[in-house]
Chains A and B, each alone.
Chain A
């Protein structure tokens, strides 16, 4: 299995809702990432998990809360989002950090619309 699977593919939520984005990979990758991508812009790094521990938080607002329950799963919990948070949220995984980097694989993304 060489895929990173993200669910749901599309999500519309109100500003008072709580929702979660899910990401799963079975490639044995021990680094997993959340990126946010606005239209016609590059992916922006949000969080990095290495061996199920949060290693980087790029000053992301607390209304975004990541979670890594195990080496195959990565969640992003959303609460009290703003319309400007509407974007494509991409999950990625790669072989263990600190080793030769490569094999960085993106999921198909969740297109989030906050109304």
Chain B
């Protein structure tokens, strides 16, 4: 079935450093790739997304890149801050565009 792999599972960086999280997907029909940030006890919050007709998208300190041929996409956070600490989930649309399948998540810790 459809699958989304996410790496690494944990990531620790110093404040000001960059963080990169990578995901691969299996469904070649996937065309929408959102990233969610989830703080402890809260709902997943959409932070950035990208569609299959775009290779890169940037929003301030956050960027996402997509390689459709290789079926992988990545989240880049620059100038990390302690408030960036959270669990980050990638996801890919699947099942003919009717649902999102999530990666297993990356716990990002930013120390000051």
Contacts and interface: CB of A to CB of B under 8 A. Distances in A.
Chain A interface size, under 10 / 10 to 19 / 20 to 34 / 35 or more: 20 to 34
A102 interface: yes
Contact of B51 (A56, A100, A107): A100
A101 B93 CA distance: 8
Question: Which DSSP category, helix, strand, loop or mixed, fits chain A's interface?
Answer: loop
27 contacts: A31-B98, A42-B89, A42-B103, A42-B105, A43-B89, A43-B102, A45-B100, A45-B101, A48-B98, A55-B98, A56-B95, A56-B99, A97-B96, A97-B98, A100-B51, A101-B31, A101-B32, A101-B93, A101-B97, A102-B34, A104-B34, A104-B46, A104-B100, A105-B46, A106-B43, A106-B44, A107-B43
Interface of B: 31-32, 34, 36, 42-46, 49, 51, 87, 89, 93, 95-105
